Amino acid sequence: MAWEPVIGLECHVQLRTRTKMFCGCPVAYGSEPNTNVCPVCLGLPGALPRTNAAALAFALRLGVALGCTIRAESVFARKNYFYPDMPKNYQVTQYERPLCEGGALPLAREGGARAIALTRVHCEEDAGKSFHPERHGDRRWSRVDFNRAGVPLLELVTEPVLRSPAECAAFLIELRRLVRWLGVSDGDMEKGQLRCDANVSLRRAGSTTLGTKTELKNLNSIKGVERGVAAEIARQAGLLEAGERVRQATLLYDADHERLAVMRVKEHAHDYRYFPDPDLPVLHVSESQRAEAAAASPELPWAREARYRDDLELPAYDAAVLTESRDLGDYFEACAPRGEPKLASNWVMTEVLRVLKERGWSVSDLAARVPAPRFRELLARVAKRELPGPVAKQVFAWFLEEQGSVAELLERHGVRVAGGDDELLPLVRAVLDENPGPVAQVLSGRDATFGFLVGQAMKRSGGQAVPQVLQRLLRQELAARTPRP
């Protein structure tokens, strides 16, 4: 029997604010445990929270980019439950009136684009972190670190419209690109800055009723999401094939051992006894704030990718690589000489990406060494066939280590490039004069000998001419020497 997976994702994005959601404690990864805490994020009696305006601005920026409806008045609610790493015994989140609703994240896929519809995006705070002896076997007791308690998160919930593990992975990759693009999160899954839970159910292919869903918790890598969802689909299909029922449950996927474990039978939402947080005011987003956020929205990654494909006529592969980050795309555009996007794309995808990888640099590290105008000048000279490929690559390598324009570097290193026609024409004529035999052969139709003449001319230039220019001049001069009938 064919089963169709129905998957919805709940993603948590850690916002890149300096301080926590409701207090002034720093958001810092890797600090000594329990050093970034205060009465507010420890939930001590009498402490009063204050909403972080930067977190709200980020939330608004993401909501606008995703085309969500932004609520003029949204409300923080307490979600009550006991958990050792949650000092207040409730989490501040949004429930009935979230900041953003609707919207979609477009996915470019082979065989066409698809927009993944969103239910909502809301603000909340993170919990602390427990270290249990099962995983951290250095001690016999569990420890809790509250540094993460109160760190601002956005929760982004999709409609149950994803259909395969690969699509879930594509969604996360696109979401990661977007939050980095907008500068609202670093989206580093290894540091837990982007995490995701998946709701999975199966139904008979063609059916419109939903099957019983299970929730897969704490998928914290792209591969983990893909494999975890695939394992859960396989588990449910096995149950259904055997005529058994799928029970509503929360499961954990253990990526290290590629194993699913049932954590608990699912609580219902009303178990959390949500109610509006009496310590926090209603969030107001005015029409002008919304308009400002929309006006400040940059060209979005998928729009830029489409522009590179359609307007610059770059291959889809190039467009995807160049828009992996906004910095890379910006640098590419600043470096591309007029009318030469493909040349610039080739250089960025090979030389630039290689250097970033080898040296562990960011795009701005590279741009500090190789300012875009300097790189553009180099590429313009390549485009005009004024520099042979190997010389151009050498100049790029010098850019990384030294200051100076293309001309200055060539001069400093004693490289003379024989570039212009004026300079090369006498040389080409001399080669033809000195080789009457091969010239006669080429003129009589034996074009194989042409390569010999190119080689001679190149030798005479000391290897400093651009081969295409020599070839053009040789052809032109040979044509002039062809006896007229």
Q: Which residues bind Zn ion (CB under 5 A)?
A: 23, 25, 38, 40-41
Q: Which of 93, 81, 150, 152 is nearest to 120 (CA)?
A: 93
Closest to Zn ion by CB, 23 vs 198, is 23
Q: Which of 336, 328, 414 is nearest to 373 (CA)?
A: 336
Greatest CA separation for the chain: 106
DSSP notation for 115-133: EEEEEEEEEEE---EEE-T
Q: How far is the CB of 308 from Zn ion (least distance, A)?
A: 44
If you ran DSSP here, which 8-state letter would residue 191 be given? G
Distance CA 114, CA 479 (A): 56
Closest to Zn ion by CB, 43 vs 67, is 43
Q: How far is the CB of 16 from Zn ion (least distance, A)?
A: 17
Closest to Zn ion by CB, 41 vs 230, is 41
Alpha helices in 276-323, H assignment, sequence order: 287-296, 301-310, 316-322
Q: How far is the CB of 243 from Zn ion (least distance, A)?
A: 53
Closest to Zn ion by CB, 150 vs 160, is 150
Tokens of 339: 């009318």
Distance CA 128, CA 122 (A): 19
Q: How far is the CB of 316 from Zn ion (least distance, A)?
A: 47
Burial class (CB in 10 A: 0-12, 13-18, 19+), 171: buried
Closest to Zn ion by CB, 78 vs 381, is 78
Spell out the residues 6+ positions from residue 38 whose beta carbon is closer than 8 angstroms to its own.
23, 24, 25, 47
Q: Which of 482, 483, 430 is nearest to 457 (CA)?
A: 430
Q: Tokens 């609202």 map to which residue? A: 184
Q: How far is the CB of 36 from Zn ion (least distance, A)?
A: 7
Q: How far is the CB of 237 from Zn ion (least distance, A)?
A: 46
Closest to Zn ion by CB, 54 vs 383, is 54
Q: How far is the CB of 149 from Zn ion (least distance, A)?
A: 8
